[in-house]
Structure formats: structure tokens, C-alpha cells
Amino acid sequence: MKLGLKIAGRFLSSNISQTILIILGIAIGVSVQIFIGSLIQGLQKGLVEKTIGNSSQITVSSNQDERYILEYDKLISDIAETDENITKISPVLDNQAFLLYGDKNQSLIIRGFDIDKPESMADGIYDISNRIVEGRIPNAENEILLGIDLRKEYGIEVGEEVDIFRTEARKIFKSTVVGFFDLKVSSLNTNWAITTLSNAQKLFELDDVITSIEMQVNEDAIFLTDEISVNIANVIGDEEYKIINWKEQNESLLSGLQGQSISSYMIQVFVIISVVISIASILAITVLQKSKQIGILKAMGIRNSTTSFIFLFEGLILGFFGAVMGILFGLGLSFAFTKFALNADGTPVVDLYISYSFIALSGLIAVVASVLAALMPAIRSSKLNAIDIIRNN
Amino acid sequence: MEKIIELKNVNKIYGTDIKAQVLYDINLSFDTGSFNSIIGQSGSGKSTLLNIIGTLDTATSGDVLIDGNNIKDMTNNQLSDYRNKTIGFVFQFHYLLPEFTALENVLMPYNIQKKPVTKEVMDRAKERLKLVGLEKVMNNPSTKMSGGQQQRTAIARALMNDPKMILADEPTGNLDSDSTETIYDLLRDINLEYKTTFIIITHDRRIAEKADRIIEIKDGKINLDITK
């Protein structure tokens, strides 16, 4: 083993330019793998974050004809206890109404959150307070927030009174616009009106009821929402309640993510294959280059297994240095990408996701692949016959 | 006298489709400590004979006995170990490992035994190099030495494990006559000092005549076998 390592090291160092070239080849393969992997993982995390990061990931609503949920406090605490991955949970009262402004009108969804209460988590789900571009959070009766698009379209200003028309009751209520929000989604910015839960209840002449419970889960559990939904259903029963998670609502996004993952794996697999083939072919040539030396060593009595170890060690050394260099390259490339590929506002186009376990795995794969690539040359070298080399000098 | 190696009815045929017989029923044995030369024209089969004696090549039929043991009964690893401990090879084209220095080349047969290189072993390697007059260039890369120096390094390497037998195939084939003379005198000295058995192929009759025994091979048969 030690002799094999020594000879392998000497073979590699005696032809240092070729050795560096092979190591560079492996390093580029590893760095591409790390970069692509980090990019795709970052892209996916960013996409998921942007799509569902500020919305309800699991929504519990009533299954009954009467769509209101009574005594929701206990239900909320029951749900919150089912799974530790649930980080934010909030009651909501949704109702349809019309906005009347001057001679214009349009439909609105009046969303009542408990945003006026200190323990409110609705703000955490929708990040409302940070999304307010003008004005403040409603905290008194008849105060509402409207989407930024309505300000643009109708020229409504903060402090103005607008009419809310309840079609089913044929009643008009006056509400004061206390601010505008921008949720970065046009349909929400035109259709939503946000108010406090108690105001929403009052507006629609309801008791202390809600229409749904919205929640978010831990970032790491984002793809486990279907399982969490099942757990919730087991606790609260699925006859009375309908439980929807984001994965059901975003099938096209999910299949897009999946496609992305598969193409990323494909790229990585082909990178590994090309690295393996290049190492194997170069080592195969090395066996030919060094066949004279192998023949001499065999004449001197070196065992076949030791000559195999020479080439396995060559693979190991090349793989190790290639992996180390590749990891450095990959991290450098990723760093450069986040520094130079920027949006207009200076934020990176894609936030890379640097996972140390993924990087370690990529390095390990390169080392294992290099040793595997050395297997064929190792077997060939053990079959080399000293006499063939000496006779054919 | 004790026989170090014995060949019984050895035939060697190359090729499977077109067969070419190189050796015909060779019966030969060598005494321990003797200095033998094999002569013959190119293609007479003398190199093949030497390679069979050195267990690098195998006979198509017949037996090769080493200290009474048939090599047919030995495994690859046993043969490797036997070559390492018992035989020193010197080839026409010296065959040093170009990646290593002269000293490392000399140490290589010992390294193959996977035993630690002690000071004593190192001294032995240096002494072998001194014997062939290379103590001053022992740390040179083997590629940076002259042909004669390389060949002498190869001889020092062949001596490293104190082999019982040294097999040399035209060891001076590509050297000038002065170097040739020096190297033969050296081999003869080693033979006298260490009682090492020598079997040397040469095409130079002048050199062959210095040996204790001359064997001439012609067309794969022993044509002449003279012991002085």
C-alpha cells in the first residue's frame, strides 16, 4: 500500500503538467456541479419563498353550508399543537363586497385579520406592516387598507371615505381608507381590502366567527405541508373542515420545480460521467506510458496487487486534489455570481443556497468516481506481463 | 556442486495460429556460484532461455526446477517473491525507473519487500553504488546519467537484495568497449566476492571467453557447452 502510494505520487509528480491538467479537469467538473447545484437549490428556495413565503401555506376552512367557523380559539390552539413545524397561525374572516367610488365600482374581498391585536400572527404571514406603502394598519372601526393599484386607478387618497356595498344585504357602509399595501401581486392589490377581524365581523353583522384559519410552516418543512395537513385532519376531522395546502394549489409550480430538479440532477450526473470518463481515459494512457516501469517492477518481483494500488492511488490523489480545488472554484464561482449577477436594485438575481453537506457530497462523489475510474487501469496494470515489455523494448 | 537451477526438456513455442518453436528440448543446469555465458546469433533463442530461467517467461513444455521446486507449482505471488529475493536482472537497456534517483532505483528491490528502510539498508544501497563507482552521483535522477552510469546503477540494483543469481542479457550491448571491459571486470569481482551465480548473454566472444562456462545456442538447441 505504502509502496503503491509512493510510486503513484512519484509517477504523478514526474509528469506534473499532465497531473495538473487532470486535476483541473476534475476541479472544473466539481465546481460546475457545486455551482449548478447551489444555483438550482437557491433558485427553488427563492421561487418558493417568493410564491408562498407571504401567503397561507395551509388553510383550514369550513366544509359546511354555513361557511363560518365558531369557537375558533380552541380550534386554533388544537391545530397549533398538532405539528411543531407550524410557526404562524391566524384566523381570517373573508367576505365579498363592492367598492363604490364616485361613479365607479368593483368587487372587493374584505379580509378581516386580527392585526390590531398584539398577539396577531397575520402580520407575520402576509408581512402586512412592511407592505404598507402609505398610511398605517387599521385599528379602529370602519378603517380599511386598500391595494396600491386602487390608488393608482381611482386616485383614492389616505383618509378618504369610500362606500362598501354589501350585495347580499343591499346595504352601504362607509369606511375610511387608512393606507395602501403592495403585496407584489396585481390581483391582490386590486381585489383585497384588509381590515381588522372585529371590524369585518361588524361590517357583515356577524358574531365572533371566522371563515378560515391560515398558517405557515417552518422553512425546512415547506414541502411537507401535505403531511402536516393530514396530521391536522386527524386531529380536527375532515368532515367538518376542508384543509388545503399550497402544494395542491400550486401544482404547476411544483411540477416546474420538479422539472428543474431533474434537469439539475441530469446535468450533475453527466458532469460526473464526463469526469469519470476523462480520468479513466487519461489513466488508461498513463498505464501505457508507464508500462515499461510496471514491467521492470514486475521483473524485480513487485506483486500484481501492488501495481493495481499504484493506479488506484493515482485516482485517489487526483480525485482528492481535484475535489478540493473544485470546491474552492465552485465557491468562488458562486460568490462571484452573487456579486456580479445583480438586479437593478443591487440584490443578486438568484440567492445561491450554499449547503455544506451538498458540497461535501460533491467532493466525495468526485473522489469515489476518480477511484472507480482508476479501477480499469488498475486491473490492466495487474495483467501486464513483464516479459512482453522486456521482449518488445 | 549444488545446482541453483535446472531445466528439463524445455520447449518454447510462440504463437497459437502460426507456431514458431524457439527452444527444442533444452536440458541445462547451473552450479551455484558459477560464472556462465550464453552466446548465439540473434534469434537463436538465447534471450528466451534466459527469461525462462528468470521465471519471467514460461516454458511451453518441460520443467524448470528452482532448488528442486518446480515453478509450475508456484503461485504468481510466490514467483514474484522468488524473483525479488533470489534473482537480480540486468537488461541490455538498463531499464531504470526514470522517475527515481539512482539511489532510489537501487533501493527499489528492497522497497518491494515492504520492509522499513533502516540505516543499515540505506548503507547497503550506498555500498552497492560505491561498488559500481557511483557514490558521487547517487542522488542524480536516473535520466540525468550517462549510459554507462545507468547500466552500473542497474547492476547495483540487481545486487541490492543479495540475490543468489544474476541474469544479464547483453548488459554491455549499447556501451563502448572501455565501459564494457569495466563492467565485466566488475561482474567478475562480484562473482568472486559474493559467490553470486552469473548467467550472462553476450554476442562478444572475447567477453564470453572470460566466463567459467560457455554455452552456445543455435536454432533453439545447445550447440556447444564448454566448461573451463
Residues of chain A numbered 294-313 and touching chain B (CB < 8 Å): 295-304, 306
Subunit contact A300:B85, Cβ cutoff 8 A: no
Does A31 fall in a domain? yes
Q: How many CB pairs under 8 A join A and B?
A: 69
Asked whether residue A120 falls in the same domain as residue A225, the answer is yes
Phi, psi of A137 (to 5 degrees): -75, 135
Residues of A in contact with B82 (CB under 8 A): 301
d(CA A101, CA A98): 10
Domain span at residue A302 reads: 2-50+254-391
First CA to last CA distance, chain A: 28
- Among candidate residues A93, A97, A104, the one with its CA nearest the CA of residue A169: A97
Name B201's Cβ contacts closer than 8 Å, sequence gap at least 6. Answer: B37, B38, B39, B46, B47, B50, B168, B169, B170
- Angstroms from B95 CA to nearest CA on chain A: 7
- Among candidate residues A291, A302, A281, the one with its CA nearest the CA of residue A374: A281
Is residue A365 pLDDT above 70, yes or no? Answer: yes
- According to the model, what pLDDT value does residue A20 have? 92
In this predicted model, what pLDDT tens digit does every residue of A21-68 receive, in sequence order?
889 988 988 898 888 888 888 888 888 887 787 788 888 888 877 788
Residue from the list A3, A14, A292 with its beta carbon closest to the beta carbon of B111: A3
Out of A205, A239, A273, a domain closes at A239
Query: In chain A, which residue's Cα lies nearest the Cα of B106?
Result: A300
Residues of B in contact with A393 (CB under 8 A): 91-93
- According to the model, what pLDDT value does residue A324 have? 95
The verdict on A391 touching B (C-beta cutoff 8 Å) is yes
Count of CA atoms in the C-beta half-sphere (13 A) of A348:
15
Number of neighbouring beta carbons within 10 Å of residue B178:
9
- According to the model, what pLDDT value does residue A237 have? 78
Residue from the list B57, B99, B109 with its beta carbon closest to the beta carbon of A11: B99
In this predicted model, what pLDDT tens digit does every residue of A225-266 receive, in sequence order?
888 888 888 888 777 888 888 888 888 888 888 888 888 888
Asked whether residue A120 falls in the same domain as residue A146, the answer is yes
Higher model confidence: residue B206 or residue B130? B130
Subunit contact B97:A297, Cβ cutoff 8 A: yes
Higher model confidence: residue A232 or residue A123? A232
Domain span at residue B116 reads: 3-227
- Angstroms from A390 CA to nearest CA on chain B: 8
- The secondary structure of B151-217, three-state, reads HHHHHHHHHCCCCCEEEEECCCCCCCHHHHHHHHHHHHHHHHHHCCEEEEECCCHHHHCCCCEEEEE
Lowest mean pLDDT of A50-59, A84-93, A316-325, B211-220, name the range: A50-59
Lowest mean pLDDT of A177-181, A351-355, B114-118, B211-215, name the range: A351-355
Residue from the list B83, B97, B114 with its beta carbon closest to the beta carbon of A293: B97
Name A370's Cβ contacts closer than 8 Å, sequence gap at least 6. Answer: A26, A275, A276, A279, A315, A316, A318, A319, A320, A322
Number of neighbouring beta carbons within 10 Å of residue B9:
12
Out of A212, A239, A266, a domain closes at A239
The average confidence (pLDDT) of chain A is 86
Query: Which residue of B114, B150, B155, B170 is the best one to mutate when testing the A interface, meaning the one whose CB has the most A CBs within 10 A?
Result: B114
Subunit contact B80:A297, Cβ cutoff 8 A: no
- According to the model, what pLDDT value does residue B1 have? 66
What are the residue ranges of helices labelled H in chain A? 2-14, 16-52, 72-82, 122-126, 128-131, 148-154, 186-191, 197-203, 225-236, 246-249, 251-289, 291-299, 304-340, 356-373, 375-383, 386-391
- According to the model, what pLDDT value does residue A310 have? 92
C-alpha cell at A270: 453527466
The total of structural domains in chain A comes to 2
Is residue B20 pLDDT above 70, yes or no? Answer: yes
Cut 0.95: pTM above it: no
Query: Which residue of A18, A300, A389, A393 is the best one to mutate when testing the B interface, meaning the one whose CB has the most B CBs within 10 A?
Result: A300
Asked whether residue A126 falls in the same domain as residue A33, the answer is no
Subunit contact B89:A3, Cβ cutoff 8 A: no
Query: In chain B, which residue's Cα lies nearest the Cα of A14?
Result: B99
Subunit contact B100:A10, Cβ cutoff 8 A: yes
First CA to last CA distance, chain B: 15
Asked whether residue A71 falls in the same domain as residue A212, the answer is yes
C-beta of residue B59 within 8 angstroms of C-beta of residue B11: yes
The identity of residue B113, as a single letter, is Q
Subunit contact B114:A3, Cβ cutoff 8 A: yes
Does A59 fall in a domain? no
The whole-number average pLDDT for the span A331-360 is: 82
On the 0-12 / 13-18 / 19+ scale of CB atoms within 10 A, A24 is middle
User: Would you place residue A393 in the very low, low, confident or very high pLDDT band (cuts 50, 70, 90)?
Assistant: low
Q: Which residues of B touch A (CB under 8 A)?
A: 47, 51, 54, 56-57, 76-77, 80-85, 89, 91-93, 95-100, 108-109, 111-112, 114, 157
Name B202's Cβ contacts closer than 8 Å, sequence gap at least 6. Answer: B37, B38, B39, B170, B171, B172, B208
Residues of A in contact with B89 (CB under 8 A): 299-300
C-alpha cell at A341: 449577477
Does A249 fall in a domain? no
C-beta of residue B175 within 8 angstroms of C-beta of residue B183: yes
Query: In chain A, which residue's Cα lies nearest the Cα of B81?
Result: A301
The total of structural domains in chain B comes to 1
In this predicted model, what pLDDT tens digit does every residue of B172-181 receive, in sequence order?
776 777 777 8
- Angstroms from B228 CA to nearest CA on chain A: 31
Asked whether residue A92 falls in the same domain as residue A180, the answer is yes
Does A246 fall in a domain? no
Asked whether residue A101 falls in the same domain as residue A126, the answer is yes
Does A317 fall in a domain? yes
Is residue A362 pLDDT above 90, yes or no? Answer: no
Subunit contact B47:A391, Cβ cutoff 8 A: yes
Residues of B in contact with A304 (CB under 8 A): 76-77, 80
Asked whether residue A71 falls in the same domain as residue A218, the answer is yes
Q: Percent of chain A scored above 70 by pLDDT?
A: 99
Out of A211, A239, A267, a domain closes at A239
- Angstroms from A312 CA to nearest CA on chain B: 17
**DSSP label of B44:** S
Asked whether residue A76 falls in the same domain as residue A211, the answer is yes
Q: Percent of chain A scored above 90 by pLDDT?
A: 12
C-alpha cell at A213: 384559519
- Among candidate residues A39, A50, A44, A47, the one with its CA nearest the CA of residue A352: A39
The whole-number average pLDDT for the span A371-388 is: 86
User: Would you place residue A309 in the very low, low, confident or very high pLDDT band (cuts 50, 70, 90)?
Assistant: very high
Is residue B94 pLDDT above 70, yes or no? Answer: no
Subunit contact A6:B111, Cβ cutoff 8 A: yes
Residues of A in contact with B96 (CB under 8 A): 296
Asked whether residue A201 falls in the same domain as residue A333, the answer is no
- According to the model, what pLDDT value does residue A180 have? 92
Asked whether residue A318 falls in the same domain as residue A362, the answer is yes
C-beta of residue A302 within 8 angstroms of C-beta of residue B80: yes
Query: Which residue of A381, A390, A391 is the best one to mutate when testing the B interface, meaning the one whose CB has the most B CBs within 10 A?
Result: A390
C-alpha cell at B112: 518491494
Residue from the list A13, A304, A390 with its beta carbon closest to the beta carbon of B91: A390
Subunit contact B56:A299, Cβ cutoff 8 A: yes
Asked whether residue A133 falls in the same domain as residue A194, the answer is yes
Asked whether residue A115 falls in the same domain as residue A189, the answer is yes
Assign residue B101 the CATH number of its domain: 3.40.50.300
Subunit contact A300:B99, Cβ cutoff 8 A: no
Subunit contact B83:A300, Cβ cutoff 8 A: yes
